[in-house]
Each structure stands twice: as structure tokens, then as C-alpha cells.
Amino acid sequence: MSGRYRAVLCDLRSDQILDVLPAQGLKCDDYIGKTGTASFSIPVTDSTMASRAREAVIPARTAVWVERDGEVWWGGIVWTREITPPSRGRPGALAVQAATFDSYLAHRLLTAGWTGAGVDQLDIARQIVDWTQSIKGG
């Protein structure tokens, strides 16, 4: 993919912008009926950029909107990050992996409290989402 990319990083709960950082090596997909994914890296050229990236990219707590030339191309939740240290004149980077917002339910562990029987499957899905969101941290 060509073009200039940047990652708009937001608090997942409040959608408040935490930082806007450059994104390199973007690979993303989006599907109808299944979760889409994205991976990219944030170049870490100095200690200031390292601090900004560390504070803004928090797995399971950060939403990311990927922009290309100022237009939103993709959105989702950051699930993993990995620091790549600098080597042989190359700057370090923070590798980020994310998935579309529907991946939230696949990462949520629910241990008790909801039952449904004799109800339409779409109604069950709606009730599960409502119940999940009503629980603390939802």
C-alpha cells in the first residue's frame, strides 16, 4: 500500500485521542461476517517517540484509527505490541497488531450470569452484547 499513513490512538472507553503517530508497513483487511485485522509499526527514532508510543499503545485499552492521507481507512482495537530495538543504524520500532471492533467480544471472558432459551438467535446475540456491556469494564 502506498500513501502516507498515521495511527490515531484513542482511549477505548472514552474515545479521547491519546496521540497521533506515524504508521509504517501497514497490512490490513476487513471482512463482512468475520473479524478484520491490521498490523503496522510505529518508528521509534528517539526516547521521546519511545515514551509517546509506550503511553499511547496499550493492548486491550487502545482504539486505533488508521488514516491514509487524512482519511480513515481502518479502525479497531490494539491487542498486542512488541518493541523492536534499533540495530545497525536502523531505528527501533513498536510493532502493533489490532483487530476490528467486533473482536472485543472474542476477547471478553464471561464466567457467569446470563442464560437464554427459546429465543431467536439474533435476539440472543443482542442480549449477550447488552449484558456484556452492562458488566463493570464493559
Let me know whether 114 and 89 are in one domain.
no
Let me know whether 17 and 72 are in one domain.
yes
Q: Are 39 and 60 in contact (CB under 8 A)?
A: no
Sort strands 37-44 and 92-99 into parallel, antiparallel or unpaired: antiparallel
Let me know whether 74 and 127 are in one domain.
no
Q: What is the pLDDT of residues 44-76, one digit of tens each?
A: 988 899 999 999 999 999 999 999 988 998 999
* pLDDT at site 111: 67
Q: For residue 114, what are the contacts with CB-CB under 8 A and spacing of at least 6? A: 127, 128, 131
Let me know whether 18 and 73 are in one domain.
yes
Give how many domains the chain has, as a whole number.
2
Let me know whether 35 and 75 are in one domain.
yes
Closest CA to 137 of 4, 1, 52, 12: 12
Q: What is the pLDDT of residues 19-33, one digit of tens each?
A: 999 999 999 887 777
Let me know whether 71 and 37 are in one domain.
yes
User: Is the confidence at residue 36, as pLDDT, over 80?
Assistant: yes
Let me know whether 115 and 59 are in one domain.
no
Let me know whether 92 and 116 are in one domain.
no
Residue 11, burial from CB neighbour count under 10 angstroms (0-12, 13-18, 19+) = middle
Let me know whether 84 and 20 are in one domain.
yes
Let me know whether 124 and 81 are in one domain.
no
Let me know whether 24 and 45 are in one domain.
yes
Residue 86, burial from CB neighbour count under 10 angstroms (0-12, 13-18, 19+) = exposed
The three-class DSSP label of residue 50 is helix
Let me know whether 63 and 128 are in one domain.
no
Domain extent at residue 126: 108-138
